[in-house]
């Protein structure tokens, strides 16, 4: 069996790859593994279960709840809420497990299962591996040890989760948003109710788009992967800024008053300066990935803020933050983690904090985001090559040195193998887009000849 868990839970086409049987089995396995690990010792275990609005989430939620309850875990069903809300409630309610059903920014037919440990933190890799092993053992015939009578789990609707999460968001904001007009694109996803309520309660005038989920329209031409509608709406309504989430609202991208995109790197730059000013940016450090724009790195250097770069993936950003005690980190894609207030990327919190900075300074988002100049970035995927030799080919190494010499300090080259496909990604940044394209094209040709 191939590894079920990826970098962000178990994901696949609902009812094809991700079936009700798999969801139920993994949930039972998770309960048994956490019991083995001593998580439930001395008390009756509780789980928080939430989902995004996908139609498939309805039957998958039923399967997860059934699996957990059959293993003796009491379940609090919080309904449709963002991933970071489920993580927060898992911690705030003292639950032993959190489960979120979502495929984030993926198209509607997909879905996923993400488990959280006590405190709302992502499960450790070794626990995910153990859950897979235990699931496979029982899938092939070994019977479960099942509680009976009063030992089975009870299932309760926890409608208070919505208000509790919104109150948390408002409670951590440094200032109100009175006087701001904000357009919110909710991607017809999990934050369709939460985000407008939070912004409105914080004092903003709110215009919403993509906030009518019907189970089938999640991420469909809207949200953080499709900013066209938000750009147009910000300009049309004369708003100060726009905020876009993905389907489970762990991401946030923004649009300024002129309709121009403000990406994750720019949001991190704005928040880094704001948090340092408030004495909250521990060690004057922000965490990004190797794909962070060079303009972000140069801006942080100029401002006296250190940038730590990790492998691509918000899990690696979070690992670095927790290991070193850093307060802020994220990715260009809009995963932003403010560790003092969230255990995972929280798109609504990020958008609120960005808007709060605009309100507090009286400066436009255009001006604030101008702290960094986003350098042109060209990415070419080179397929059907031996990606394992990307770091050992002498011919390729020589071509990279030549490219870096040509680009100087205002450019950058990054070659990395795909984690899931037989291809190598060639990324080049330069002050001039034509130079970036030319250098990337040459390097892609060398990758083909050297690794083909």
- Annotated binding-site residues read 104, 246, 248, 250
CA 423 from chain center: how many Å?
24
Closest CA to 244 of 168, 351, 349: 351
Annotated binding-site residues for Mg(2+) read 104, 246, 248, 250
Question: Is 393 a residue of the active site?
Answer: no
Q: Please identify which residue in the block is written with the tokens 């914080």.
A: 202
CB 422 within 8 A of CB 384: yes
Query: Backbone dihedral region of 343: left (phi > 0), alpha (psi from -120 to 50 degrees) or beta?
Result: alpha
3-state per-residue secondary structure call for the chain:
CCCCEEECEEEEEECCCECHHHHHHHHHHHHHHHHHCCCCCCCCCEEEEEECCCHHHHHHHHHHHHHHHHCCCEEEEEEECCHHHHHHHHHHCCCCEEEEECCCCCCCCEEEEEEECCCCCECCHHHHHHHHHHHHHHHCCCCCCCCCHHHCCCEEECCCHHHHHHHHHHHHCCCCCCCCEEEEECCCCCCCCHHHHHHHHCCCEEEEECCCCCCCCCCCCCHHHCCHHHHHHHHHHCCCEEEECCCCCCCCEEEECCCCEECHHHHHHHHHHHHHHCCCCHHHEEEEECCCCHHHHHHHHHCCCEEEEECCCHHHHHHHHHHHCCCEEECCCCCEEECCCCCCCCHHHHHHHHHHHHHHHCCCHHHHHCCCCCCCEEEEEEECCCHHHCCCCHHHHHHHHHHHHHHHHHCEEEEEECCCCCEEEEEEECCCHHHHHHHHHHHHHHHHHHHC
- Out of 27, 56, 102, 104, the active site residue is 104
Quote the CA–CA distance of 143 and 145 in Å, as a whole number: 7
Sheet of 412-417: strands edge to edge? Answer: 377-383, 423-429, 412-417
> Which phi and psi angles does 122 have, rounded to 5°?
-60, 145
Query: Backbone dihedral region of 361: left (phi > 0), alpha (psi from -120 to 50 degrees) or beta?
Result: alpha
Quote the CA–CA distance of 256 and 262 in Å, as a whole number: 7
Catalytic sites, residue numbers:
104
């Amino acid at each position: 069996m191939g590894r079920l868990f990826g970098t962000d839970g178990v994901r696949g086409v609902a009812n094809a790859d991700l079936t009700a049987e798999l969801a139920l089995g993994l949930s039972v396995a998770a309960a048994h593994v956490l019991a083995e690990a001593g998580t439930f010792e001395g008390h009756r275990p509780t789980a928080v279960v939430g989902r995004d609005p996908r139609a498939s989430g309805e039957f998958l939620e039923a399967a997860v709840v059934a699996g957990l309850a059959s293993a003796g875990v009491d379940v609090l069903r919080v309904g449709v809420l963002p991933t970071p809300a489920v993580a927060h409630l898992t911690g705030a309610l003292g639950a032993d497990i959190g489960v979120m059903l979502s495929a984030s920014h993926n198209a509607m037919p997909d879905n996923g299962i993400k488990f959280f440990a006590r405190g709302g933190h992502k499960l450790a890799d070794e626990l995910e591996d153990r859950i897979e092993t235990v699931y496979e053992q029982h899938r092939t015939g070994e019977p479960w040890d099942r509680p009976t009578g009063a030992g089975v789990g009870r299932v309760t609707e926890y409608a208070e989760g919505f208000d509790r999460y919104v109150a948390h968001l408002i409670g951590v904001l440094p200032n109100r948003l009175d006087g701001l007009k904000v357009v919110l694109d909710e991607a017809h996803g999990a934050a369709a109710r939460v985000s407008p309520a939070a912004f409105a309660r914080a004092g903003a005038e709110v215009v919403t788009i993509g906030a009518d989920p019907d189970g089938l329209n999640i991420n469909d031409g809207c949200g953080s992967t499709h900013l066209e509608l938000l750009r147009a709406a910000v300009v049309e309504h004369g708003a100060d800024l726009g905020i876009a989430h993905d389907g489970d609202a762990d991401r946030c991208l923004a649009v300024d008053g002129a309709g121009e995109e403000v990406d994750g790197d720019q949001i991190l730059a704005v928040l880094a300066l704001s948090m340092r000013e408030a004495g909250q940016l521990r060690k004057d450090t922000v965490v990004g990935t190797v794909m962070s724009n060079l303009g972000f790195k140069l801006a942080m250097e100029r401002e006296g803020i250190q940038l730590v770069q990790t492998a691509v993936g918000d899990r690696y950003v979070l690992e670095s933050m927790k290991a070193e005690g850093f307060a802020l980190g994220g990715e260009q894609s809009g995963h932003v983690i403010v560790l003092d207030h969230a255990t995972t990327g929280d798109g609504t919190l990020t958008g609120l904090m960005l808007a709060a900075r605009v309100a507090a300074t009286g400066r436009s988002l255009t001006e604030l985001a101008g702290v960094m100049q986003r350098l042109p970035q060209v990415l070419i995927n080179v397929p059907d090559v031996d990606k394992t030799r990307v770091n050992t080919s002498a011919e390729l190494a020589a071509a990279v040195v030549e490219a870096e010499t040509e680009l100087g300090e205002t450019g950058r080259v990054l070659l990395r193998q795909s984690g899931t496909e037989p291809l190598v990604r060639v990324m080049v940044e330069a002050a001039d887009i034509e130079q970036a394209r030319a250098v990337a094209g040459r390097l892609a040709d060398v990758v083909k000849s050297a690794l083909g």
